Amino acid sequence: MTNADGSQPRPRRRAPAGAAVLREDVTEAIRAAVFEELAAVGYARMSIEGIARRAGVGKTAVYRRWRSKLHLVLDIVSAIAVQGLPAPDTGSLEGDLRLLYEVTARALRHPVASQIIPDLQAEAARNPEIAELMQKALREGQEGVALKIVAAAERRGEIRTGVDDELALDLISGPLYWRSVVIRSPKLPKGYLAALARATTGALMAL
């Protein structure tokens, strides 16, 4: 068969092999398996083989998405850091902080999170690469939400414009993580989150 001008038609190019879109259900199964494996054996004994077995997939499916167990776990940690965290818009700085603390406290009290976070912290103390990447993942997640709260408070005139973002982030995120993750208080005192939101509001207004 020839074209109208007498030339031969060009053969159609096939899509390259391996160009298939990664299936989201497989990705989610792998992520769920990471939680189970971390809780069961800890980071040091966790393996790609074990994750793949729990997820019901081959090792190749894991390696197509993450190049090592470290990058896989850090991706999960980063997702946890922002998952479910709202960009609060209650109309006041104290209200926004209260909502943020309520959601964060629930996430940190989750049984799986309470097992995984201390284990990763222990690994971070031994491995500078894990420490650096874990800090970056957690910080970026918290920073995005906290700085939106600060920016909204500035627009409403509740705090002065141009506050130190680093200091504001420390004030917002530090106390709850200290109590829940560092000293691992089993239960927050009654009224603690409301008092923390009120105190943090006062501190930010004083910057």
- Token pair 């004030």 is found at 171
pLDDT, one tens digit per residue, over 9-31 is 554 444 444 444 678 899 999 98
Distance CA 172, CA 177 (A): 10
Q: Helix, strand, or coil here: 164?
A: coil
Please give the pLDDT value at position 180: 80
Q: What is the pLDDT of residue 145?
A: 85
Instruction: Please state, in angstroms and rounded to a whole number, the distance separating the CA atoms of residues 179 and 182.
Output: 6
Cα 174 from chain centroid? 16
Residue 204 and residue 163 in contact, taking contact as beta carbons nearer than 8 Å = yes
Query: So what's the pLDDT on residue 19?
Result: 40
pTM given for the model: 0.67
pLDDT reported for residue 183:
82
Count how many Cα atoms sit within 13 Å of the Cα of residue 10 in the half-sphere of its side chain.
3
Distance set, CA 65 to CA 45, 54, 129, 136 (Å): 21, 16, 20, 20
In one-letter notation, the amino acid at residue 130 is: I
pLDDT of the residue at 12 = 47
CA distance 182 to 186: 11
Give alpha helix (H) positions in the chain: 24-45, 48-55, 59-63, 69-82, 93-109, 111-126, 128-156, 165-177, 192-205
Residue whose token pair is 């105190």: 199
What residues of the chain score a pLDDT lower than 50? 1, 11-20
